[in-house]
Structure 1
């Protein structure tokens, strides 16, 4: 019996271990990196060197990639990244400010929208920060809630699909508009495990059907447009491999039926069976009838 309990405890421990806003009229998306940027600040795979100017032209980037863009102060910069169920994403952004004399402080903001263009709240992180007049850079971060496999239609829970990252300045002196800046964005994901799993999954991830490059300065969809409205290619416009809806994560979208809760359920059933066997062996007695005293 002792050996059974030890084996169950070891198995239990092993399971625990295994276990639409208007964009800027024209954004500068010059390729290349800023010579003043710290190249060693963000380890990982280098991604695109440009950013979109709206939801429809958001630049696709994978989790773990460091996307960069050179733009002008006041531009709206958009990236799109795929997030699957069970993932908790942390989006980080760094804006290298111009060396030229500025007229005052500037407030930058990092927003994240899901595939339905619903703004997602940050669990924690500095989503909005103000850079002093003489600051060299400003860093922002946003840790989202864990992506769920299924949710009620009225809920605002994050669901599997494309997530749009938007970076822009929200408050600064009028005289500082148009100054050159360099932005870096990276999205890292962590597996939340079966503790966040739900009994259900979407029929398909929330991936809008936008996948065509639109000319610079094209506005976001007008009021009343559905999230699945795609951009119509203009004469002479061609699709860009970087300017498409976020591709599926490595390994494809999760099917939704597997989570490490199955392991915990199996381990719990095994421990319950061992406990039942142990309790029975302790309470059944020796198996021999009690001796009855004889009368004289």
Structure 2
């Protein structure tokens, strides 16, 4: 794995958690359940990145938003955006990396996109049209929660999926592209990393993080680098000189507004992830 430290410290629950993984791996459902069990505020990077009409921010504005999130004392950061993974990993107390098989991620992603598009067509139907049973606010087949859609896209009524083909390509090539950049960021940070290859491991990690006295199970050698571990550096604030691209030059700039998740999928639920 990308870090020799695969378990969080048992004497101090993590206050800042980064969740990474391929699209369709289940990381967003995991984040909602983690937020409901730990009380940590959840921030979706897609909420900060996408604007109405699927428009993107400038590189400077995006880096400013990421730094504003990293400066907060408590958070769960859901999303990859591998180019800005380094400052988030340095600021985090724990990294959860979903490493499921690309074909499983692609299949789950296709099912989710079809559910979102079906629900969008149902909402767009005239009020007099009969609604099929079970339609409306679609729920995830994994967690039983409503599906997540980026906030500004949801408020603007934009299509919930821009390109299914692009998402499938990203899931199938995730290990060869994004994972390489993520591993490089993790190697430089020495932040504790827990890798989840199955939903059962994710459910066990949720249970462990809900009880700070328990350590999440780690298969021997599954989450470790080859070679002896290196000592973890003392936790310090984000070094401004080390991330020049993530801070605007010329003095301080008012941070971008950072709001935690308010989507329908954030409603607390009782059952944890199915152990499958």
TM-score, normalisation: structure 2 = 0.25
Task: Please state which structure has a larger fraction of its residues in strand.
Answer: 1
Structure exhibiting the larger radius of gyration computed from Cα positions? 1
Higher relative contact order (CA closer than 8 Å, sequence separation 6+): 2
